[in-house]
Amino acid sequence: MYDVSSPTYWDESYRSGRTGWDLGMPTPVFQRLAQSGKFQPGKMLVICAGRGYDARLFARLGFEVTAVDFAEAAVKEMKSRRELNVSLEVMQADIFDLPFFMSEEFDYILEYTCFCAINPDRRAEYIHSVSSLLRRGGIFIALAFPIGSRAGGPPFVVSPDELILPLAERGFRLIMREVPVDSVPGREGIEELLIFKKK
């Protein structure tokens, strides 16, 4: 029996090559957003950052990025791929512990394949963490995946309303919602881009 709340499970996944969530490149949807010019550089937290493709994408564009992952193997890989002249801090940490020392520190939080990886019983805690870490006026960018119906996980099935409704209760406004046309092959139609602003 595996425990997704333990870093051991994720370390073993990396070491054994069971990393189906890893695209091997920045997420195309995030590339489009990053290059759109709609988001001015600021302090960004990338949660469950994996090998850091998306974190490096935004760091290259002038964002001050903190990339966090639970797994030691992922963090070591991120650190080994550091680039010069970008602002990128890499941390091994549990996202549920971050609000204790990073309260309202970030202008942006970036989410992809994190919400679907945690134990579904902890989703309320996840919402609390996102709300606590983001500054007023901050932006939460979430690519919700996988949407639909399937048993088991990870990834555990996600409904966009599991993000929209509890975040609305915490004063977040949904400012963009779309089914991306640039999803990677195999994920078309089963992910949804949601962008929120914290009031």
- Write the DSSP assignment of 61-81 as a string of letters: TT-EEEEEES-HHHHHHHHHT
pLDDT at 11: 87
User: What residue ranges do the domains of the chain occupy?
Assistant: 7-13+27-198
pLDDT at 82: 81
Backbone CA torsion sign across 194, 183, 20, 83: negative
159-to-53, 111, 116, 177, 183 alpha-carbon distances in Å:
25, 14, 10, 13, 17
Residue 84 has pLDDT above 60, yes or no: yes
Which residue has 């991306």 as its token pair?
180
pLDDT tens digits, residue range 92-105?
Answer: 999 999 988 899 99
Interatomic CA distance for residues 196 and 97, integer angstroms: 22
pLDDT at 21: 86
pLDDT tens digits, residue range 131-179?
Answer: 999 999 999 999 999 998 888 889 999 999 999 999 999 999 999 999 9
**Does the structural domain 7-13+27-198 have CATH classification 3.40.50.150?**
yes
User: Which among 101, 97, 79, 99 is positioned nearest to 88, based on CA atoms?
Assistant: 79
Higher-confidence position of 8 and 29 = 29
Q: Who contacts 129 (Cβ-Cβ below 8 Å, separation ≥6)? A: 95, 96, 98, 99
Gyration radius from the chain CA atoms: 16
Tell me the average pLDDT across 112-128: 96
pLDDT at 1: 44
Interatomic CA distance for residues 120 and 117, integer angstroms: 8
pLDDT tens digits, residue range 36-75?
Answer: 999 999 999 999 999 999 999 999 999 999 999 999 999 9
Q: Who contacts 163 (Cβ-Cβ below 8 Å, separation ≥6)? A: 115, 127, 142, 144, 194, 196
Element (H, E) at 195: strand 192-198
